Structures are given as C-alpha cells and as structure tokens.
Amino acid sequence: AQSVAQPEDQVNVAEGNPLTVKCTYSVSGNPYLFWYVQYPNRGLQFLLKYITGDNLVKGSYGFEAEFNKSQTSFHLKKPSALVSDSALYFCAVRSPLNRDDKIIFGKGTRLHILP
C-alpha cells in the first residue's frame, strides 16, 4: 500500500531564513511525487513534481524539492522564506504500478513565516 508521511504538523521559520518541509513516502516501484500548497478556504495549487530524471526539482514561487530514493524522502525547500509563504503544504504520491488512479496525500504541514 502506498502512503505519505509529513512528520511535522507545523513549521515556524523567520522571514528570510531557509525553510524545509519534510515528506517521506512508501510506494511500490518508482514513485510520482508532488507538492501542493493550500491557502485558507481555497483549493490546492500545484507547486512541483518529480517523475524521473534530476533529483532536484524546481517549482513555483522559488520552491524546490529533492528526491532521495535511499531515504524515500521528497523534502520541500526554499532558500529564503517570505511571509506570503505561510500556508498549508501537502506532499502527495502516486505509484505507476497501481492500476487505480489514486493520488495519496500526506496530512499536511502548516508553515508559519514569522516577520
């Protein structure tokens, strides 16, 4: 069975500092991995994805994520946090080996950027 873990419910970072939001996964085969961001009372916005190729993936709003197969991780990072980055972040995974189309989401990590 596939699963995603986001071990931190909340992450606090001072504005201008680097940020990391952690994600680990469990899936059969090589995973498709995604990061989404959600602002209050809104749907999810796509940030970036890893399908294959370079382990470091760059996405929207200056975010990037690194796929680490040995650690089964896909942590989201940004070199310098902005107050406007404060939101709820979801990591998600899909296995290409599964016949169903399900994308599994982590429970989310609330990011607070302190001015």
Partner 1 sequence: GAVVSQHPSRVICKSGTSVKIECRSLDFQATTMFWYRQFPKQSLMLMATSNEGSKATYEQGVEKDKFLINHASLTLSTLTVTSAHPEDSSFYICSARKGQRNTEAFFGQGTRLTVV
Cβ-Cβ contacts under 8 Å for 91 (sequence gap 6 or more) = 4, 6, 21, 23, 25, 33, 34, 35, 74, 76, 105, 106
Number of residues lying near partner 1 (CB under 8 A): 22
Closest CA to 86 of 11, 25, 29: 11
Distance CA 63, CA 59 (A): 5
Residue 87 binds partner 1, judged by CB under 8 A? no
Residue 90 binds partner 1, judged by CB under 8 A? yes
CB of 101 to partner 1, least distance (A): 6
> Under rule CB under 8 A, which residues in 25-44 are in contact with partner 1?
32, 34, 36, 41-44
Please say which residue, 19 or 109, places its beta carbon nearer to partner 1: 109
The residues that touch partner 1, with contacts defined as CB under 8 A, are 32, 34, 36, 41-46, 49, 51, 90, 94, 96, 100-103, 105-108
